[in-house]
Amino acid sequence: MSTLYNIDDRSLLVNLLSGAGSFLEPAAVLDGLTSEQALAKPLGLPHSIAEIVSHMCYWQEWFNRCAVTGFSAAAEHAADGWPAVSTEDWDAVRTRFLASIEEAKRIVRESDSLGEPLLPPDVQIPVLSKDSLGSGILHAAVHSAHHLGQIITMRQLMGLWPPAAGSLTW
């Protein structure tokens, strides 16, 4: 087995999940969006904000489950990681995603096995082959940061930025 990525700085992981210092926290990026706004696809973009949040939630929950109960099969197709969202679902999806971030922070603070392999020895997923449970949580945080940046750009295009609470300015 190859050497696993070692992510043993719990406060770094919690800060990255929170957006502390590097970018705006996830709740602030999503603040104030109505269902109609969250489900819009401006300029013919392929995904709405709600769909991106559902996608982030899917993967954050997957990495969380791996850290708590062990590996479960990964999505077979990219489309499987993009659960559909309806108008009635926006608030629930947003709440669920933010709860998954809080769960990841709890896992990081409480787990004694962050250095254990994410994948069992008989599972071959090259992009995850060197991930420990801790680096899997980091993987999810970086994935979410990427998509949260997309959401900020979408909100800017839609005239919905900055959120009422304000934003980082440079």
**Per-residue b/e over 23-44, b at no fewer than 16 CB within 10 Å?**
bbbbbbbbbebebebbbbebee
Q: Are 55 and 83 in contact (CB under 8 A)?
A: yes
Q: What's the confidence (pLDDT) of residue 30?
A: 96
Please report how many Cα atoms fall inside a 13 Å half-sphere around the Cα of residue 162, on the Cβ side.
8
pLDDT per residue, tens digit, the chain (170 aa), is 468 998 878 999 999 998 877 678 999 999 999 999 999 998 999 999 999 999 999 999 999 999 999 998 888 888 989 998 987 899 999 999 999 999 999 999 999 999 999 999 999 899 999 999 999 999 999 999 999 999 999 999 999 999 887 776 65
- Which residue type is seen at 56? M
Task: Tell me how far apart the alpha carbons of residues 161 and 42 are, in angstroms, rounded to a whole number.
Answer: 14
- Rounded to whole angstroms, the Cα distance separating 53 from 64 reads 16
How many Cβ atoms from other residues are within 10 Å of residue 93's Cβ?
23
For residue 50, what are the contacts with CB-CB under 8 A and spacing of at least 6?
A: 35, 38, 39, 85, 89, 90, 93
* pLDDT (tens digit per residue) in 19-34: 877 678 999 999 999 9
pLDDT score recorded for residue 169: 60
CB 38 within 8 A of CB 125: no
Q: What percent of the chain has pLDDT over 90?
A: 74
Length of the chain: 170
Give the chain's domains with CATH numbers. Answer: 10-157 (1.20.120.450)
